[in-house]
């Protein structure tokens, strides 16, 4: 189903059905409760709702899954944001002594938005995306996920499609959730290479020695650069595109004249790029230091562009998984990194599609499952479980379930490890 099949005017009618029968409340509560290890962890979490006509309601908090469920079914939010775990219940923040209400913990989060790449993509601009430029999100996830796991040792990174033009990452490890603002800033700065606003021409500047993190990132970029930048975006095709690349090269008249002379006869973008690379390597052979300009070009065109402020703040809110994007109708779903190169944002189900799928006749197998489960769970919860399984949302909820299972297994391992250590003493 394409975005064209979704009518924004139908959202007020679809949201009640979505929150009543399809939203995965059980998994959602299980995630944010983190095994109930810390007292009041879920109860002190802030939620914010954006309602119809852009009415914004902050500092919502709930004692139980049931309470959250009832309130969301009553308010039918157009958008859900998740904030920090506070020192007190957010819905009572006005009753707390001034200065006592503090944000204590939150997942380490990253927000990557396609609009931040507008200076290096020619296929689309603004909120528009297409399969060509979506490769930038694939590169971003590959680079950042590797760094978060290998360089920082985090294990539980939940990558989520925003529903329109970007991706979010929720690092859910206990160590990540406890990071201070200074530590979050340090991680975000470590991962940031593209710097400077519209007026900055060279946004990536490398110096000796090249950090191993940059070398690893370049390995990822090189896998996509030819197909994405040279062929997809044609960065060495038109005169305007070529001029943008030349502006990133050293201010060496002889070097530029030699390159332009070659470009007059050679029009193949891949051969043009091979020449730039070999000239850069020659420069490095003769120069005492630096001259990594071919690497700087690759990183400027392909490296992830982070909204650092989102990552730095403990009290910063970020759009929730399984929230609906009001403009596209698409659900904000987890991304399976095992299938990352095949992830297609245009194939992500819309709220109109999954609500329509609910109306399809049940199969014999589904009816048999219903009979088997008759005495296992309460009617409402049982129906909800089987309802999302009948829609295109099912595989994304299963992916979320798997993520939660891995976290639970990890928690259990930590408990056993700690109990063994205590026995030794």
Catalytic-labelled residue, pool 111, 145, 173, 387? 111
| Rounded Cα gap, residues 108 and 312, in angstroms | 8
Residues 412, 395, 63, 102, CA torsion sign:
positive
| Rounded Cα gap, residues 240 and 398, in angstroms | 47
Contact 230, 270 (CB under 8 A): yes
User: Got the DSSP string for 259-270?
Assistant: HHHHHHH---HH
Catalytic-labelled residue, pool 46, 105, 173, 294? 46
Give alpha helix (H) positions in 147-227: 174-177, 181-190, 212-225
C-alpha distances in angstroms, 330 versus 7, 53, 261, 306, 320? 11, 19, 49, 23, 13
Please say if 111 is a catalytic residue. yes
Please say if 119 is a catalytic residue. no
Please say if 401 is a catalytic residue. no
| Rounded Cα gap, residues 46 and 126, in angstroms | 30
Residues contacting residue 281 through CB under 8 Å, at least 6 positions apart? 294
385 class by beta-carbon count within 10 Å (0-12 exposed, 13-18 middle, 19+ buried): middle
Give alpha helix (H) positions in 226-268: 239-246, 253-265
Catalytic-labelled residue, pool 69, 105, 107, 113? 113
Output phi, psi for 302, to 5 deg: -130, -20
Which residues are catalytically annotated? Answer: 46, 111, 113
């Amino acid at each position: 189903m394409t975005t064209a099949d979704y009518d924004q005017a139908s959202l007020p009618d679809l949201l009640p059905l979505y929150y009543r029968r399809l939203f995965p409340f059980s998994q959602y509560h299980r995630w944010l409760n983190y095994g109930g290890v810390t007292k009041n962890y879920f109860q002190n979490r802030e939620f914010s709702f954006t309602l119809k006509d852009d009415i914004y309601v902050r500092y919502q908090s709930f004692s139980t899954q049931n309470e959250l469920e009832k309130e969301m079914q009553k308010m039918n939010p157009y958008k859900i944001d998740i904030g920090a775990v506070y020192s007190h219940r957010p819905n009572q923040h006005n009753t707390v002594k001034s200065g006592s209400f503090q944000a204590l913990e939150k997942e380490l989060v990253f927000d990557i938005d396609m609009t931040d790449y507008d200076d290096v993509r020619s296929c689309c601009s603004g909120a528009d995306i297409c399969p060509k430029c979506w490769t930038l999100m694939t590169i971003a996830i590959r680079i950042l996920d590797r760094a978060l796991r290998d360089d920082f040792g985090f294990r539980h990174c939940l990558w989520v499609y925003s529903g329109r033009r970007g991706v979010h990452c929720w690092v859910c490890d206990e160590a990540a959730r406890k990071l201070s603002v200074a530590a979050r800033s340090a991680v975000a700065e470590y991962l940031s290479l593209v710097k400077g606003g519209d007026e900055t021409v060279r946004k990536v500047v490398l110096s000796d020695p090249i950090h191993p993190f940059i070398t690893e990132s370049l390995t990822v970029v090189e896998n996509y650069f030819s197909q994405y930048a040279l062929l997809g975006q044609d960065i060495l095709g038109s005169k305007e595109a070529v001029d943008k690349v030349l502006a990133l090269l050293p201010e060496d008249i002889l070097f530029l004249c030699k390159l332009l002379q070659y470009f007059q006869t050679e029009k193949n973008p891949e051969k043009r790029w091979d020449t730039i690379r070999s000239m850069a390597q020659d420069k490095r052979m003769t120069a005492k230091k630096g001259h990594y300009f071919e690497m700087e070009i690759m990183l400027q065109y392909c490296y992830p562009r982070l909204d650092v402020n989102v990552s730095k703040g403990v009290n910063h809110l970020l759009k929730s998984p399984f929230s609906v994007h009001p403009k596209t109708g698409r659900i904000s779903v987890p991304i399976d990194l095992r299938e990352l190169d095949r992830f297609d944002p245009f194939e992500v189900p819309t709220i109109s599609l999954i609500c329509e799928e609910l109306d399809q006749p049940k199969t014999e197998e589904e009816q048999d499952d219903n009979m088997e489960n008759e005495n296992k769970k309460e009617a409402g919860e049982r129906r909800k479980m089987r309802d999302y399984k009948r829609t295109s949302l099912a595989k994304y909820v299963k992916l979320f379930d798997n993520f939660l299972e891995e976290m639970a297994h990890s928690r259990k391992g930590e408990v056993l490890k700690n109990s063994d250590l205590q026995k030794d003493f």
